């Protein structure tokens, strides 16, 4: 019997030709150096070696795709993104290409997936009203949960690009300094409140000029696509160190991203109007006259050791990706290819929609009851996986892949 073609997908496969996310892979046995990495496009449970396929088909995009990272494609800009996607769609849907493409498909189970792009700057926002309200209650119980600025601008901080890692990378429990409110002196040691943050990452492709702001309407000229992101956070280190400049050691030891970047064009059916804003914003952030709604209806699922513990709805985010981008550049900051910005933890209104353990367990006071026992924060060996899907054309889902990471024990010297 002939082997089934990678192009024969089960009906409704979330990684069908309507999706075509990009990643970077290497083949088994190849050294881990850059030379052996190549851009791949996911189709079902296979990855297409996009550069080799382009070369074989005589495509003008061969040199853009035969690369060890997505950066050249990201830098090529929105017209080329569309053109390449159109070409790929034709390759995987036109039956006459089937035989020519077959050698360039590899089973996902047989390849190693790498960080898909070289991360330039990394920023993390705080765009969920429900998350910000919960964290405000937990960290600042004597104040209003939302600080006065929260509904006037998307609050964010600059993170550490060099510690962004691809899904599947172990996360070493961080050590740091902490002081409980009741303690008189700070102490040092491995975090005892290691947490997750379920987020969506925005991947910047086309750069912008230093000194000019990027308006809301230019979001799609710069942002190439979305990934899943887990902003690992040490909740015992964070409250002691964050005043007044923001998170530092507590959130800079590892941030995991999915191996697949889903182009915005694959998510057009998922666009939704964000929740009603009850405070008027300044004109540069006012999206009421934009042509398209700025939200994305992504349904995230968080599992701990295989048990689903939360289902955060990305469509509930107060601030949109365009507003975050515009605010980030309003002072004239330039964008670089490979910039990554996180949405901030995605939490919905309901308890089972909270995107972090500090919220799900109310800072450890209400443990989760799991088949493997009670859990407040993460223990060594725990594995966290975020997955997500979005509505696509004709009721078919668009899969966003997964981001997972396992906790390795702290590296202490004593
Ligand atoms: O409210 C605080 O002081 C802290 C908030 C967070 O830890 C959240 C954060 O990193 C941004 C986010 O993911 O929403
Ligand atoms: Ca975060
Ligand atoms: Mg981080």
Q: Does ligand 1 lie within 6 Å of residue 345's CB atom?
A: yes
- Rounded CA Rg of the chain: 21
With beta carbons less than 8 A apart as the criterion, state whether 254 and 163 touch. Answer: yes
Tell me which residue of 16, 32, 41, 34 sits closest to 108, measured CA to CA. Answer: 41
Q: Which two tokens stand for residue 14?
A: 């979330």
Residue 270 pLDDT more than 70? Answer: yes
Supply the residues annotated as catalytic: 131
pLDDT tens profile 179-197: 998 999 999 999 999 999 9
Tallying the residues shown for the chain, one arrives at 414
Q: Does ligand 1 lie within 6 Å of residue 318's CB atom?
A: no
Q: How far is the CA of 213 from the centre of ligand 2 (A)?
A: 24
Report how far residue 43's alpha carbon sits from residue 175's, in angstroms, rounded to the nearest whole number.
40
Closest-lying ligand 1 atom to the alpha carbon of residue 156: 11
Verify cis geometry, omega within 30 degrees of 0, for the bond prior to 220. no
Give residue 372's pLDDT: 84
Report how far residue 158's alpha carbon sits from residue 403's, in angstroms, rounded to the nearest whole number.
21
Closest-lying ligand 1 atom to the alpha carbon of residue 155: 11
State the distance between the two ends of the chain, measured CA to CA, in whole angstroms: 61
Residue 414 pLDDT more than 90? Answer: no
With beta carbons less than 8 A apart as the criterion, state whether 183 and 368 touch. Answer: no
Closest-lying ligand 1 atom to the alpha carbon of residue 128: 14
Give residue 30's pLDDT: 72
Q: How far is the CA of 267 from the centre of ligand 1 (A)?
A: 27
- Record the pTM: 0.97
Q: How far is the CA of 232 from the centre of ligand 3 (A)?
A: 5
Q: Does ligand 1 lie within 6 Å of residue 247's CB atom?
A: yes
Residue 413 pLDDT more than 80? Answer: no
Percent of the chain's residues with pLDDT above 70: 97
Average pLDDT score, the chain:
96
Q: How far is the CA of 297 from the centre of ligand 1 (A)?
A: 22
**Which ligand has the nearest atom to the CA of 127?**
1
Cα-based angle 172, 356, 117 (whole degrees, multiple of 5): 55
Total Cβ atoms within 10 A of residue 143: 11
Return the C-alpha torsion angle 139, 145, 150, 155, nearest 10. Answer: 10
Percent of the chain's residues with pLDDT above 90: 93
């Amino acid at each position: 019997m002939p082997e089934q073609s990678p192009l024969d997908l089960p009906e409704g496969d979330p990684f069908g030709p309507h999706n075509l996310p990009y990643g970077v892979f290497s083949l088994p046995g190849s050294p881990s150096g850059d030379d052996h990495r190549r851009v791949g496009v996911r189709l079902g449970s296979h990855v297409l070696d996009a550069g080799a396929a382009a070369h074989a088909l005589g495509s003008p995009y061969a040199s853009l795709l035969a690369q060890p990272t997505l950066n050249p494609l990201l830098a090529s800009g929105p017209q080329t993104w569309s053109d390449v996607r159109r070409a790929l769609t034709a390759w995987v849907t036109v039956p006459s290409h089937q035989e020519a493409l077959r050698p360039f498909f590899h089973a996902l189970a047989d390849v190693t997936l790498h960080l898909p792009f070289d991360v330039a700057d990394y920023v993390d926002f705080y765009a969920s009203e429900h998350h910000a309200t919960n964290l405000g209650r937990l960290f600042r119980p004597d104040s209003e949960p939302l600080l006065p600025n929260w509904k006037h601008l998307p609050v964010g901080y600059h993170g550490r690009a060099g510690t962004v890692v691809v899904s599947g990378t172990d996360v070493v429990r961080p050590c740091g300094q902490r002081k409980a409110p009741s303690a008189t002196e700070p102490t040092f040691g491995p975090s005892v409140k290691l947490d997750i943050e379920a987020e969506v990452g925005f991947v910047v492709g086309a750069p912008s000029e230093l000194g000019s702001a990027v308006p809301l309407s230019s979001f799609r000229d710069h942002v190439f696509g979305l990934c899943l992101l887990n902003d690992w956070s040490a909740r015992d280190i964070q409250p002691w160190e964050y005043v007044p400049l923001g998170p530092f050691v507590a959130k800079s030891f590892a941030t995991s991203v999915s191996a697949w970047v889903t182009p915005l064009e694959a998510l057009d059916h998922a666009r939704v109007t964000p929740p009603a804003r009850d405070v008027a914003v300044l004109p540069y952030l006012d999206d009421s006259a934009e042509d398209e709604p700025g939200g994305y209806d992504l349904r995230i699922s968080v599992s701990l050791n295989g048990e689903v513990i939360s289902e955060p709805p990305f469509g509930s985010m107060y601030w949109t990706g365009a507003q975050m981008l515009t605010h980030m550049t309003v002072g004239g900051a330039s964008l670089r290819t490979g910039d990554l910005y996180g949405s901030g933890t995605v939490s919905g209104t309901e308890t089972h929609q909270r995107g972090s353990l500090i919220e799900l367990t109310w800072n450890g006071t209400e443990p989760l009851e799991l088949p493997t026992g009670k859990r407040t924060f993460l223990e060594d060996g725990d594995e966290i996986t975020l997955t997500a899907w979005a509505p696509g054309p004709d009721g078919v889902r668009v899969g966003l892949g997964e981001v997972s990471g396992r906790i390795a024990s702290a590296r202490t010297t004593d």
